[in-house]
Structure 1
């Protein structure tokens, strides 16, 4: 993988670049649609490529390991071939999913023991095993196994969690360097900065991660219960240390405003289930504000769904029709909502990149955020 930093802002840390992988180039800043189980919910791969124009998507090691399983993925020749997606893929290590199991997992020095949410079977994720699984998946970018503590964790918990995460990281990094890809192309390993909401722990973690010299780095453990302003503060603390010539990936964030604020602080890559999840529930994001498609006010509004939208669904269907689909619980409503929101998120990234290149990103960001959060 190669990262070419192309433009920087004079009045902020925002930057534009290009990540080159074996499956194509990625223009940054970028939002990555989440395809947890080899599918971005309610969206065909063709629509992801041609309409959404997704440059990279996510899969999840925990879910893919449990189903369909590594044997089937290996037989298929990796995740790209299995799901019919020819562009880059990033896989999360499953650390967050193990964290979310809470009562059904135990963290030990060897790794994370957990019970499957599918059938209750018991499994162990070690840092080495997670690398091996992602070798079989064949993602372009794989993530290290870490513990993701809650945003409200006290200092003692956060400190010991970070020490465990760093020991796991060293083991995972060693395994990655000692192994090779299975399908004839190279893969990249991203370590993850943790440390909860404690600046000194975040600095320690960021330095530990930076010293590894990986081709890119991630920021985890945010948007998990801490106040938004604290999340922004932690991004600034970390990005003061993470190398500027490597891409920075903020995991699991977030709202359109969150993304622009993260970009303003030097983040290059982001992902979140919000656009597809909220879209399937009738909440649509636009440049002029947020639409609740179940609202009675749209019942006889025959104007386009989003006159300024970039998807075919924005111009093919009226607000009245889309509201009717949601109220009638038609599956087509879920597809339209997911596609619209993903197109909006990718368009927002395109606009952010354009304003970074033109040199007025900060001014544009301050003007656009109130519009994005307005309820129509």
Structure 2
């Protein structure tokens, strides 16, 4: 059987026997990823394969239908985007055990949105005679909700042009968590559900993987997240039989929406096409990856959370990477951190 996975270096597949066990799968994944030791997560909410499962068959666990998430066991970082703030912020953490709605945040300017917006990033799609365009979301800590909300317009509503605002989507997520206490426990959310729900309702709290999965389930839509830096496509809700998909771009700290337009230079978003049939829209994802390559190679439209250099606007401290930023914020309470760009 063929098992798909997403690892820090990108997506891949491994071939194992139909009767393979978890232990045999781990050996194949180590070979496929080149990692000496791996942590493997599956299902939703994501849970790690544990030692007591090593002799269990993959079919017994249903892993032949899964797209696994792989991380080096030596690292706490997960390759699936879990948090976001904006191009003017850096993540608190990429550890999936941490809450995606944590408010220990700092502000590190990565890219100015107006510069990109003015350049009207787009790619032609000759298959349909249309254009795929990047719709820049505001830098307001709600960009994930706004990006997805615009794609959900009219969905699950008697009103054809129903708009879902970020505050409304936050309330929808909270209602879903409260209605499913067995599924969304403190172990999954990273903190007590009541505290998690309180945080996610705040306008300055990030949304991430948990919120994406909940919105995908509620609206019965596959949400494809394309990582600018790696080109990896994370298909939230894949395999659930959803008929439609939407697509957003992720730059490690910010989400933007992708839209199809049929009039060159169209600025009016009311005429955007933001949802496509899952069957027959592979060209959308292919061109989305093409657009992300333009963003990465031409505009450096992403922030590397491990190696960017930053300066504290308050005390002029200089540090490198998200971990040093988190330490500085915790130690000083200073929340105004700016990225120092290499203009050479």
TM-score, normalising length: structure 1 = 0.27
Which structure carries more helix by proportion?
A: 1
